[in-house]
Amino acid sequence: MTISTIPPHTGAEIKRINRGLIFPSAAFTVRSRQVKFYCLSDKPPRVGDVVYGIVDRIGQHSSLENASGRIHQIHHGTKAVFVFGNRYAPDYFEGLVPDKMVSGADLLARSGMIGVVKTKNSLVKDATRVNVLGYVCDERGNILNTRDCSLVKPRSTIKKQPRSPMILVCGTSMNSGKSMAAAACCWALRSLGYNVRASKVTGTASLKDILHMNDAGADPYADFTYLGYPSTYMLSEAELLDVFNNLDLKYANNPKNFWVVELADGVIQRETAMLLSSEQVVQRIHKLIFCSYDAFGAIGGLRTLAERFNLVPDAVSGVCSSSPLLIRELSAFTNIPVFNSVETDVNRLGGILLCPSPVKQKRNIVDGEIVSC
């Protein structure tokens, strides 16, 4: 753990932070009682560094999600705590932590994560701008960083066997319906009398997805922000596996329970691809659910899963599952079952999730059709 402090010889003025500010979900691991002062320093920002700022211009995001999940409307002049982080969101922004301290930054997500926009989807507005007043410090002058305050502390580093069966949900892209499918899996299993734990391993800080899984019966639940990461974009493979394994160790020790796990974005996205290529992750899969916005995306995604990762899902869902016509289109290319994540048939989905998987299953593509042997 690296703790940054404000050196006294810099002459930087430390000012007290008054009450009346928004405490966003990107700073989930930091406690409000730790927030005492702020100080402008030329220290280069790191992922997870917490800063104090004022909304300077409203753009794409006009609200902030706080650490309890409440949505606050923001205005020019709204004061809040923000967190430096990287974001990968094809529907919104690609944003990175700047290599030096800046006086103004872009609001990359409603959770309060800030950085500098590198690319932007042309269908969305420019980012909301934040005037950065300085780093947030505790009473000793230590700069607060979310990664120093992990809330997930497994009792052991060894995974005892057998473990909770893992239901892994991935998809073609963001907004392909992964969170709805994950919630449907939680609902089906809980309705059938099973205890369910849920985690989101990659993505950008947002309580919405894991709260949906909690509403569907998963408890406890957690994501990467519980380990102090405002996002997982640009993490190393070792860091990603550390997130996955710590969540596994914390929530999946009981073989009588189920562990529902969501991976953000699409299967060709950097971090998702890293995890799907890892034997540590693949060997934990009990059932694989693949989500797509439409049938054509599902067909391409299934082929990519098979050819790049040697994986064939046990079911298809997502936005496409709500349309009988899209399901009909998809059925011409694969015999993999499709379940509607909006109108969940508990017994049918339960049958998919509870069906025992062979120890070794050959997965391949035959005559242009994606099949599971």
**Is 55 inside a domain boundary?**
yes
Mean pLDDT of the chain: 93
Residue 371 clears pLDDT 50, i.e. is over it: no
- 106 and 194 part of one domain: no
Q: Per residue in 123-164, pLDDT tens?
A: 999 999 999 999 999 999 999 999 999 999 999 999 999 999
Interstrand relation of 166-171 and 285-291 (parallel, antiparallel or unpaired): parallel
Residue 116 lies in a domain: yes
- Amino acid identity of 313? P
CB 301 within 8 A of CB 326: no
pLDDT per residue as tens digits for the range 300-312:
999 999 999 999 9
Does the pLDDT value for residue 12 go beyond 70? no
In this structure, the answer to whether residues 348 and 219 fall within a common structural domain is: yes
Domain assignment present for 161: no
Res 19: pLDDT: 86
**pLDDT tier, 13 (very low <50, low <70, confident <90, very high otherwise):** confident
The residue range of the domain holding 190 is: 166-372
Strand pairing report for 129-137 and 104-107 = antiparallel
Residue 153 lies inside a defined structural domain of this protein: no
* DSSP type of residue 130: E
* Same domain membership, residue 137 and residue 172: no
Same domain, 130 and 181: no
Q: How high is the pLDDT of residue 164?
A: 98
Structure tokens, 373: 């042997």
Is 138 found in the same domain as 185?
no
pLDDT tens digits, one per residue of 227-270: 999 999 999 999 999 999 999 999 999 999 999 999 999 999 99
152: in domain: no
Final residue of a domain: which of 79, 113, 145?
145
Binning pLDDT at 50, 70 and 90, where does residue 189 land? very high
Label the pairing between strands 113-120 and 104-107: antiparallel
Indicate whether 116 and 13 sit together in one domain.
yes
Q: What is the tens place of the pLDDT at every residue in 40-73?
A: 999 999 999 999 999 999 999 999 999 999 999 9
Does 347 lie in the same domain as 200?
yes
The average pLDDT across 324-351 equals 95
pLDDT for 1 beyond 60: no
Kindly state the tokens that stand for 151: 């809330």
Q: Let me know: does 209 contact 270? Beta carbons within 8 Å.
A: no
Judgement on whether residues 116 and 228 belong to the same structural domain of the protein: no
Determine the straight-line distance between the first and last CA of the chain, rounded to whole angstroms: 47
Domains of the chain: total: 2
Is the domain of 348 the same as that of 208?
yes
